[in-house]
Amino acid sequence: MCGIIGISSHKSVSNSIINSLKKLEYRGYDSAGIATLADGLINEVKSEGRVENLENNFDLKNLSGNIGIGHVRWATHGVPNSVNAHPHSSENVSVVHNGIIENSTLLKKYLLGKGHKFKSQTDTEVIVHLITENLKSSELQEAITKTLKQLHGSFALGIIFKDMPDLIIGARRGSPLAVGYGPNENYLGSDSYALKSMTNKITYLEDGEFCFIKKDQVNFFNEDGIKINKKVLELSSDQQNYDKGDFKHFMAKEIEEQPQTLKTGIKEYVDNINNDINIYNFPWKIDEIKSIMLIGCGTAYHSCLMAKYWFEELTTLDVNIDIASEFRYRKNRFKNDTLYIFVSQSGETADTYAALDLCNKNNMKTCAVVNVIESSIARDSNFVLPIHCGPEIGVASTKAFLGQILVLYIMSLKLSSLRKEIKDKDYQEKIKDLKNLPKLIEQTLLLDNDIQAISSTFNEAKGSMFLGRGFSFPIALEGALKLKELSYVHAEGYPAGEMKHGPLALIEEGMPVVVLAPRDNYYKKTISNMQEVVARGAKVLLITNKSKDEIVSENIWEKIEVETTNDDLLPFLLTIPLQKLAYYSALKKGYDIDKPRNLAKSVTVE
């Protein structure tokens, strides 16, 4: 899940490459590099760490060249340092790569035998030498077709050549790649976001395809090297603001944006006049769907779990969920009457895409719940339900999580109504409550100071637990994931009733434990489970919703009360304090909140 960029222009490209790389940093940020071609020579600059380091370490103004490629890395093979940073170059060829070459060890052996010398520990370097080797006996196009066929695994590639002064080759298998068209220049990029400041005219490469990009023309080829025509898409002008504004971090901004993003989502799907839900162009008849399978990774998987509870509560559909990296290798029993729903913020997650691809190959009904509507998952699904959140830049997903569960809740309600499983009065009531949700989120966000004060206890602890039952269990998992990814504190999410079957052994004096116990059907049971951890010395932070009834529990360390709504919608409100808890813990530790260590926003490798 690295980011790549390439520009072939009539003017110097290093500045534009740097700007695009900064946009791509969400994909990887452990090293960065650029190669340009000037005066018949490939010039390469690389640095460990951020693009900023590259700017500080080199005088990039002096890096001339009207053609160049750039890369931000998320290490797979070889430690993150400047030697392993991309581009990787021989005297004749320079390559940037996103993906993993699975047969790199074998290819390296073969190339060493041919006298090639390797500098790095990366899998990517074999591509450089393989092209160089194939060029000895073949013309360029044939050499590229041959090289791509010899590579196993996944890749998006940008390649420049010493002897081809305005050519960039792009190639895709598994990892996303887009071509952009500008005035007297053309571009290659991992996504349209990186190219947005330069163009809104985009073509996406499909698996197996490659392209030749010159400043005044682009040609596309299929995997056999046969020329093909491809559509140019005009992307909608994006009004979204990619700046942090007055916020210290994108994450803080994205948390605070949630009332607005939910409002937008509700407006897209709820017909205010008829108080009904609209899912336009749903391509299947309702009785064609007997069961649902939801698939995602990380936070998106938690959205799937949340949806399972709602679908089961509101419909009699069979509902299953799976983690994409498991689903893709499982012996699946594909069923025609199952709707396969793929949940992904980026729409580019490799495991989720592979699961979708598998379903498509088996002619299943596929539906994407995504934020990025130009993404591979959106493009290759039969039907798309966008979450309408606007760009999410912070690596830790916040507004996209609420956006995903909003759309999935809306879908469960609509299916329940179409299947006549919910009384009309209840349906109307739930839609009314839904419309009121953004206001309640806004009020819950005001709990800021209370959470900030509590957060240091979590930093100082060896570990922590997040417990919940029923609708609150997926939120407990999400809260634990947020804390671990941002503040690097060990955190486990558990169903509260499961503690006594093992994890209770972890509880010791002073261990912070978050208990999610809203006043829903599970309330009393959760409070009993809470007593079990209190009795063993845990410092319990109870998160519940406002109520007239007193909480019948002593020895709670802290209590936070979110607003009140119907039971279905409480998970939205419970999420807010957990997002803030993770944010403030990381802030106090001085960690890089928008780019936590070892992670990337878009995970385009297996």
Q: Could you confirm whether 559 is annotated as catalytic? A: no
CB nearer to ligand AGP: pick between 372 and 533:
372
Amino acid found at 405 = I
Rounded distance between C-alpha atoms, residue 498 and residue 372, angstroms: 36
Q: What is the dihedral of CA 565, 566, 570, 576, to 10 degrees?
A: -20
Q: Which helix (H) or strand (E) holds 367?
A: strand 365-370
Work out which of 431, 603, 604, 605 binds ligand AGP, going by CB under 6 A: 603
Is 387 near ligand AGP (CB under 6 A)?
Answer: no
In this structure, what token pair is assigned to residue 62?
């002096």
Is 12 near ligand AGP (CB under 6 A)?
Answer: no
Is 344 near ligand AGP (CB under 6 A)?
Answer: yes
CB of 537 to ligand AGP, least distance (A): 30
Q: Is residue 542 a contact partner of residue 409, using CB atoms and an 8 Å limit?
A: no
CB nearer to ligand AGP: pick between 170 and 298:
298
Q: Which stretch binds ligand AGP (CB under 6 A): 5-13, 41-49, 340-348, 360-368?
A: 340-348
CB nearer to ligand AGP: pick between 211 and 297:
297
In this structure, the number of other CB atoms found within 10 A of the CB of residue 251 comes to 29
User: Residues with Cβ < 8 Å from 138, sequence gap 6 or more?
Assistant: 146
Angle at the Cα of 173 from the Cα atoms of 170 and 177, rounded to 5 degrees: 45
Is 565 near ligand AGP (CB under 6 A)?
Answer: no
Starting at the earlier edge strand, list the strands of the sheet with 490-495: 490-495, 463-468, 512-516, 539-545, 558-562
CB of 162 to ligand AGP, least distance (A): 37
Q: Report 258-317 residues binding ligand AGP (CB under 6 A).
A: 297-300
Q: Report 433-462 residues binding ligand AGP (CB under 6 A).
A: none
CB nearer to ligand AGP: pick between 130 and 297:
297
CB of 600 to ligand AGP, least distance (A): 8
Q: Which stretch binds ligand AGP (CB under 6 A): 18-26, 259-267, 341-349, 552-560?
A: 341-349
CB of 603 to ligand AGP, least distance (A): 5
- Judged by phi (left if over 0) then psi (alpha if -120 to 50, else beta), residue 19 lies in alpha
Q: What is the largest CA-CA distance in the chain?
A: 82
The size of the interface with ligand AGP (CB under 6 A), counted in residues, is: 16
User: Residues with Cβ < 8 Å from 115, sequence gap 6 or more?
Assistant: none
Q: Could you confirm whether 367 is annotated as catalytic? A: no
Q: Is residue 31 a contact partner of residue 73, using CB atoms and an 8 Å limit?
A: yes
CB nearer to ligand AGP: pick between 393 and 496:
393
In this structure, what token pair is assigned to residue 370?
């995504």
Work out which of 94, 346, 464, 565 binds ligand AGP, going by CB under 6 A: 346
Rounded distance between C-alpha atoms, residue 57 and residue 209, angstroms: 36
Is 397 near ligand AGP (CB under 6 A)?
Answer: yes
Is 489 near ligand AGP (CB under 6 A)?
Answer: no
CB nearer to ligand AGP: pick between 63 and 377:
377
> How far from 232 is each of 180, 200, 202, 218, 450, CA to CA, in Å?
9, 10, 6, 11, 51
Rounded distance between C-alpha atoms, residue 263 and residue 261, angstroms: 5
**Contact residues: ligand AGP, CB under 6 A:** 297-300, 344-346, 349, 352, 395-397, 485, 599, 602-603
Positions marked active-site: 2, 601
